[in-house]
Amino acid sequence: MLKIKELKCSIGDKEILRGINLDVKPGEVHAIMGRNGSGKSTLANVITGKETAQITNGSIIYNNEDLNEKTPEERSLRGIFLSFQYPVAIPGVNITYFLKEAVNAKRRYLGKDELDAATFLRQIKEKLKLVDLDSSFIKRAINDGFSGGEKKRNEILQLLMLEPNLAILDETDSGLDIDALNTIAHGITTAKSPERSFIIITHYPRLLNYVKPDKVHILLKGRIVKSGGPELAQILEEKGYGWV
Ligand code: ADP
Ligand code: MG
């Protein structure tokens, strides 16, 4: 589904990613771990098309298409999703209208009928329950005055509504209390399917106990320096990153 080859990118004259190789097959869950500043968010950003970082080498191939030429919207329509590490508030933009527009844009792209208001409302109310958000949230503006936990639940709500093929979660579990973490884990588990792949960026093995990764990669200074199975996350928990 996703094939990243020798990817290098820079922000200004600083090289941030220094030769990334990654191969994600349909249905696989990959975890990316690593110290702050190692380039995890930058990797998520270049896959989704944020233009802060310039690609200087290599390629990102998604379902046999080179993503380099595609805008973030085109990537989203093709099924790529990013849960932001720092979700942005958009006061005045209601989450229900926003999501309905996004979901229907995708349905139009896929040649499906748009959802009418009643059907959409029924669906969003079901998903709100899954992420343990009160149904009054349908009236709120995007992330406006949301607590940290509510922002991350809202990211998972978007994941559940948009039904992507490739979901990238950038520290969606950071700063959550145990209940919120369980909810997030439950949301991800619900979304798992043989066709849907996940790249989970995290510092904590806890989430990976709930959502078992097929592969764990350690990113250090812009390179994947070690890849392994779920046991790698446990070793990091015990030993930290020093030994890497
Ligand atoms: P991580 O997500 O692993 O903590 P990031 O990808 O956010 O790491 O950052 C990697 C490096 O890129 C850091 O040194 C960071 O300061 C730098 N960086 C990220 N965004 C910018 C930016 N907009 N301008 C300048 N440097 C940036
Ligand atoms: Mg980050």
Q: Which atom of ligand 1 is nearest to the CA of 43?
A: 6
Cα(40) to ligand 2 centroid in Å equals 5
Concatenated DSSP letters for 131-170?
A: TT--GGGGGSEETTT--HHHHHHHHHHHHHHH--SEEEEE
Ligand 1 binding pocket mutation candidate from 7, 11, 20, 244 (most atoms within 8 A of CB) = 11
* Rounded Cα distance, 31 and 24, in Å: 11
pLDDT in single tens digits along all 244 residues of the chain: 999 999 999 999 999 999 999 999 999 999 999 999 999 999 999 999 998 999 999 999 999 999 998 999 999 999 999 999 999 999 999 999 999 999 999 999 999 999 999 999 999 999 999 999 999 999 999 999 999 999 999 999 999 999 999 999 999 998 898 999 999 999 999 999 999 999 999 988 889 999 999 999 999 999 999 999 999 999 998 998 888 8
Distance 39 CA to ligand 1 centre (A): 6
Number of domains in the chain: 1
The domain that holds 139 is classified in CATH as 3.40.50.300
For ligand 1, residues with CB inside 6 Å are 11, 16, 34, 36-42, 52
Domain that holds residue 119: 2-243
Query: Is the full-model pTM beyond 0.95?
Result: yes
CA of 64 to the centre of ligand 2 (A): 27
Q: Sort residue 111 into left (φ over 0), alpha (ψ -120 to 50) or beta.
A: left
